[in-house]
């Protein structure tokens, strides 16, 4: 296999101007970015971690330590983050622009991407088929089935996001997921919701030493339920509410954990707040609070660190609520804009 490597680490800065211009003209014809890495044998999990990261980016291996992506600004940025991670882990890596001259052709490299994405689409379609059969055997789907459907939708979106060459399997996978979603919508009854007007101008009571679920729930209440809500933080789990008080995320509360749902999820469900920008936030809060990695949100680790820092810096619960509010405001705006 022969390919040219035009990399920042290899480009000689002392070339004469005509040669540099010729170099630039060659670079403009390069369709690909290569990531070439060398990872220590130990610890073994680090190699697996890098491999999984490259898989999520949509990179394809052309040799054991050489991965290729179609050249773009986004691909370059993605590879740069992987290089930084590899170097911090004790390995070495380089990024190169490339064009294939002998051995693999551009069409053959492109075919590798198409085959990888078709395999992903085939797996999505197969899972959709299994869930659909399960739905057909049951007149009413379980919450577990509904969550599996949502995960499958997200997986399809992820694959589409790294389908650089429009693999033909996309249409079959999308059709299977759409059919499953339609069947699910018919089988799942609409939950009864609480009139939000009955929840306004209340005192919302929760346990002291608030953390992610109570911080997020407090933000949700003020932003979408009761703009003039007052909050009260108590020590007793068996606190008896006074007139005009509502309890959340505490024993016996009107809004608290139900089954495997955190309080934030319960409020969304009971109040009937249907806002796509809140769905990822609910999943992040769930993953941090319940620690079950159900949704596998990549943002959860970073948000958890922010929440930890707020809790460590502020012992007063009202201060924690006020400091965490802008975090969830910004997250909400990010997810709203991301969907456009």
Comparing CA positions, the residue from 209, 159, 239 lying closest to residue 317 is 209
The answer to whether 248 and 210 have CB atoms below 8 angstroms apart is no
Query: Phi and psi dihedrals of 141, rounded to 5?
Result: -75, 150
The answer to whether 320 and 210 have CB atoms below 8 angstroms apart is yes
> In this structure, which CATH number among 3.30.70.240, 1.10.357.10, 3.40.1160.10, 3.40.50.620 belongs to the domain 2-104?
3.30.70.240
Q: Where in the chain is the domain with CATH 3.30.70.240?
A: 2-104
So what's the pLDDT on residue 262?
94
State how far the Cα of 53 lies from the Cα of 64, in Å rounded to an integer. Answer: 15
State how far the Cα of 317 lies from the Cα of 307, in Å rounded to an integer. Answer: 12
Cβ burial, residue 9 (10 Å; 0-12/13-18/19+): exposed
So what's the pLDDT on residue 117?
96
- Exposed e or buried b per residue across 54-85, where buried means at least 16 C-beta atoms within 10 angstroms of its C-beta: beebbbbebeeebbbbbbeeebeebbeebbee
pLDDT in tens, 237-267: 667 888 889 999 988 889 999 878 899 999 9
Residue 42 tokens, joined: 């130990």
The answer to whether 193 and 272 have CB atoms below 8 angstroms apart is yes
Residue 75 tokens, joined: 């691909």
Please, how many CA atoms are within 13 Å of residue 290, restricted to the half-sphere of its CB? 22
Cβ neighbours for 175, distance < 8 A, ≥ 6 positions apart = none
User: Which uninterrupted H or E stretch holds 83?
Assistant: helix 73-88
Residues of the chain with pLDDT below 50 are: 1-28, 189, 340
């Amino acid at each position: 296999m022969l390919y040219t490597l035009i990399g920042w680490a290899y480009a000689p800065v002392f070339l004469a101007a005509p040669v540099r211009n010729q170099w630039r003209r060659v670079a403009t014809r390069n369709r690909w970015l290569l990531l070439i890495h060398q990872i220590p044998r130990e610890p073994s999990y680090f190699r697996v971690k890098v491999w999984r990261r490259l898989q999520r980016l949509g990179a394809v291996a052309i040799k054991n330590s050489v991965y290729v992506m179609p050249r773009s600004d986004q691909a370059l940025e993605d590879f740069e983050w992987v290089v930084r991670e590899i170097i911090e882990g004790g390995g070495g890596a380089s990024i190169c622009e490339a064009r294939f001259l002998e051995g693999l052709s551009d069409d053959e490299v492109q075919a590798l991407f198409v085959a990888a994405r078709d395999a992903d689409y085939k797996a999505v379609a197969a899972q959709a088929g299994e869930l659909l059969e399960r739905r057909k055997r049951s007149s009413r789907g379980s919450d577990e089935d509904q969550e599996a459907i949502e995960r499958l939708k997200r997986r399809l979106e992820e694959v589409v996001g790294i389908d650089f060459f429009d693999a033909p399997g996309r249409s079959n996978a999308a059709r299977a997921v759409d059919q499953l979603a339609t069947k699910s919508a018919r089988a799942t009854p609409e939950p009864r919701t609480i009139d939000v007007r009955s929840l306004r101008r209340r005192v919302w009571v929760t346990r002291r030493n608030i953390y992610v679920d109570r911080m997020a729930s407090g933000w949700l209440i003020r932003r979408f339920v009761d703009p003039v809500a007052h909050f009260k933080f108590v020590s007793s789990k068996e606190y008896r509410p006074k007139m005009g008080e509502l309890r959340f995320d505490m024993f016996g509360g009107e809004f608290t954990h139900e089954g495997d749902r955190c309080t934030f999820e319960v409020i969304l469900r009971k109040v009937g707040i249907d806002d796509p920008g809140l769905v990822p936030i609910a999943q992040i809060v769930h993953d941090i609070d319940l620690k079950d990695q159900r949704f596998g949100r990549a943002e959860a680790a970073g948000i958890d660190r922010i929440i930890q820092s707020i809790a460590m810096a502020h012992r007063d619960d009202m201060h924690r609520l006020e400091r965490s509010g802008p975090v969830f405001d910004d997250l909400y705006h990010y997810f709203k804009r991301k969907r456009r």
